[in-house]
Amino acid sequence: MSTPYHVAIIGLGAMGMGAARSCLRAGLTTYGIDLSATAQAQLQAAGAAAVMADARPIAETLDAVLLLVVNATQVRQILFGESGLAAHLKPGTGVMISSTIAADEAAALARELAALELLMLDAPVSGGALKADAGEMTVMAAGADAAFARLQPVLDAVAGKVYRVGSEPGQGSTVKIIHQLLAGVHIAVGAEAMALASRAGISLDLMYDVVTHAAGNSWMFENRMARVLTGDYQARSAVDIFVKDLNLVADTARELRFPLPLASTALNMFLAASNAGHGKEDDSAVIKIFDGITLPGTEGKA
């Protein structure tokens, strides 16, 4: 690039690390912000301009900030908390919020950032860690034309597909929340099917092979139930993430006075898994709520 473009990625989890690597590959001057020393070291080794736990020391050099943290509380704390970043950013900086948050929270954040002459894109993402690492995330973005223009280099770097949902922040979050309804239900029903197969004495490897070559397959079934087959519940996306996301789905439906019977059932399944102590495990661990089955990598009952 003729003029360096400086972007800070805040939150170097599975998605954030991939997004940061994609920004580096695209030639952007990339900074990594995370509390984890391990994550910082990993991105430093990949060629980051700098890594740190707090972006304020580099705030005035930034053209853009991409937030990929867990929830709205963390987003708000980072931007407007006691050590808030927003007040230190120069006017015209683009702020891309890619966490899954409520639409009204996204709209409120956009108003507060606009008061500081900052441009916000409500831009939740999907695709998982592999797509993030390949720079092929799907982005559901809403915001003013100026925000899209300011953040175009970041969008080009991290996204395979950008949907311009609308001009009002909050619209992108609504699309993501509806998407999460499907994602959560697909994981829950995949777990239910595999649990039934186990109870019926059907080989889970066979069942997985059949489904992934037949009409009942989904991306979530194929991705998450593969982890059940190996007994690998190390969290890429945790059970408690879907407790959060399906609660956002429920809140959205309640505001619209709209019934969601399947999403409600899926939420209760994830709540049961969390209540049973599996909240920090991979979301595929929702299968552990079923009694009377034996799963790979576990002893006795799930």
What's the token pair of residue 21? 């690597």
Cα separation of 120 and 136, whole Å? Answer: 21
- Helices 103-114 and 72-80, packing angle to 10 deg: 10
Token match 């519940």: residue?
A: 233
Cβ neighbours for 170, distance < 8 A, ≥ 6 positions apart = 103, 104, 106, 107, 110, 122, 142
User: Phi and psi at residue 137, in whole multiples of 5°?
Assistant: -65, 155
Cα separation of 139 and 177, whole Å? Answer: 13
Specify the DSSP element, H or E, that contains 263. Answer: helix 261-273
Q: Smallest Cα–Cα separation from 71: which of 235, 234, 244?
A: 244
Cα–Cα distances in angstroms (integers) from residue 239 to residues 137, 224, 261, 289, 296, in the given order: 21, 12, 20, 12, 19
Cα separation of 296 and 93, whole Å? Answer: 49
Assess whether 176 carries a catalytic annotation. yes
User: Phi and psi at residue 181, in whole multiples of 5°?
Assistant: -55, -50
Report the SS3 class of residue 116.
Answer: coil
User: Phi and psi at residue 52, in whole multiples of 5°?
Assistant: -165, 175
The one catalytic residue in 90, 131, 161, 176 is 176
Question: Which residues are annotated as catalytic?
Answer: 176
